[in-house]
Structure 1
Amino acid sequence: MNVPTAEAERDDSRPLHERIAADLRDEIMSGDLAPSARVPSTARLKERFRASSATVQKALQLLKAEGLVVGRAGAAVTVREHRQRTMRPAAYMAPAGAGEAFRWLTEAAKTGGSAHSALLEVSEAVPPADVRGLLGMAAGDTAVLRRQLLSIGDEPAELVSSYYPLELAGGTAISVRRKIRGGTPALLAERGFPPVRSVDRVSARMPTQEQAAVLRLPGHLPVLRTLRVVYSHGDRPVEATVMIKAGHLYELEYEFAAEE
């Protein structure tokens, strides 16, 4: 349990209710407050944080808006079940097998609930500068953009924007607005450009207006932004994808083996 010190309170300029919510959020995400566990009572939180009842309630309202806890005035507040999900990017980089669904869907479904995707856009677009640089594109160059929303159950999970060089994707099924069985990795593999290596850059930032709206996010928390570049043979970049997910609901797990 985090106990705020006088020094920490001096250095943290956030309003007290936001600091209380941050400490409780950390305990929920780390598992110290497990799913279905009761959040400490208002009286205990008042004593712990040297706060008024109104301030504690404001903190709990933030956590309710984030979907981390549930409860109503006068009743116990509990941690919601199955809110934090661990995603393992390495599990869905490889192309899906013949007749199989996109690997993200099958992997996400393992964390509970049915997973599905909605194709939002397919067009030619100028990628963000960091994407252009990784794909070796000049300013103003366009790529094939495929944007989709991945959901688990009825909750949006991830906003995905994938960019493909025109010389690889133009005139193929990648540039057509319809789903591709097994996802684009399977199609690229069929065309002789299988993914052999990928590099992720993960950062945290505040969501854009569109991201907050599409993912139904509270406006005061950051998102996780993963920029993934997929390389085929000869270290040729064949795809760059920007993946946005709620920072307070998801974590990424990477596994590394020690070199022998």
Structure 2
Amino acid sequence: MAARRVDPSSDRAVYRQIADHLREAIERHELAPGAQLPSESALVAEYNVNRVTARRALSVLVTDGLVAAEHGRGWFVRRRPPVKRLSSDRFAGRKEGKAAFTVDMEENQREFSVEVIFVGEANDTPPDILSRLGLGSDAPVLVRRRRYLAEGQPVEYATSYIPLEIAQGTPISQANPGPGGIYARMEDQGFVFERYDEEITARMPTEEETRILSLPAGSPILHLTRTAIASGRPVEVCNTVMDSAAFVLLYSLPAS
């Protein structure tokens, strides 16, 4: 990274000027994703500032979602180019044995992995989920929780709720439901998918969501709730929490 100077007489605080220089180096790919930033000591020597100023400059980049601080190791470039998450076409990949997340990652040429956190019967399904599924308050529901990673970075956390009558005794109740995911397994039972209703909101994450997605402080998330309708009934509700810096939501809407 090329050496830069700060202007002490500028209205912009010195630590923000240093953060600007580092941000520019990241955007120019002089500091690539995963690269280690100069240490606090290196910034102190380069800019002739104190350690508090150097640390504040690095903290600005953490807040902006560009950098992650790893205890005992240093500061590393975090942000990757955002993934373009496709519209409903992403679900068509199940006919080729691909789940929707796989389609998104392949379209964006990204390495990815999926961690299954839990699969089992729910004891405390939220009332709004039961309502969306058209079920009574004591209806049994299967829950599937997964964490999705791109290049080793957590980007998405999803929880699916499926009527137990649909999932029980099928691969849907297993950690790996097979090619095409749970929708393909439902089609194996004869369900015909009609539409996917999605609601998207932006909010700040809970402590648990921050931990699961390894989010930097102050990072908002996108909360997407999808209801899958097949053969005239809701067959799944999926609550998905996404790192807002990791995705661009791409939708194609008909003109008429």
Q: Same fold (TM over 0.5)?
A: yes
Amino acid at match of 2:239: V
State whether structure 2 residue 107 is matched by structure 1 residue 110: yes
Could you tell me which of 106, 120, 130 is aligned with 2:117?
A: 120
Q: 1:80 to 1:159 in 2, by over 3 A?
A: closer
Amino acid at match of 1:181: P
Could you tell me which of 200, 203, 215 is aligned with 2:213?
A: 215
What is the distance in 2 between the residues matched to 1:131 and 1:59? 43
Contact 2:193 2:229 in 1 (8 A): yes
RMSD (Å) for aligned C-alpha atoms: 3.4
Aligned pair count reads: 213
Could you tell me which of 217, 238, 241 is aligned with 2:238?
A: 241
- Deviation of 1:190 after TM superposition, in Å, equals 1.2
Runs of 4+ in 1 over 6 A off after TM superposition: 54-57
Contact 2:80 2:246 in 1 (8 A): no
Q: 1:89 to 1:187 in 2, by over 3 A?
A: same
Q: Per-residue displacement from partner, 1:183-222 (whole Å, max 9, x unpaired)?
A: 1111111111132201101011221222111110123222
Q: Per-residue displacement from partner, 1:11-62 (whole Å, max 9, x unpaired)?
A: xxxxx99xx8xxx9xxx9xxx9993278xxxxxxxxxxxxxxx789636523
Could you tell me which of 188, 191, 205 is aligned with 2:189?
A: 191
Could you tell me which of 72, 80, 86 is aligned with 1:88?
A: 86
Q: 1:167 to 1:95 in 2, by over 3 A?
A: farther
- Deviation of 1:151 after TM superposition, in Å, equals 1.2
Give the structure-1-normalised TM-score: 0.69
State whether structure 2 residue 178 is matched by structure 1 residue 205: no
What is the distance in 1 between the residues matched to 2:83 and 2:26? 13
Q: Which runs of 5+ in 2 are unaligned?
A: 1-11, 31-51, 69-76
Q: Percent identity?
A: 27
* 1:132-211 equivalence runs, <5 A: 132-211=130-209
Could you tell me which of 31, 36, 40 is aligned with 2:28?
A: 36
Amino acid at match of 2:143: L
Amino acid at match of 2:103: T
Give the structure-2-normalised TM-score: 0.70
Amino acid at match of 1:177: A
For the residue of structure 2 that corresponds to 1:82, the secondary structure is coil
Contact 2:177 2:185 in 1 (8 A): no
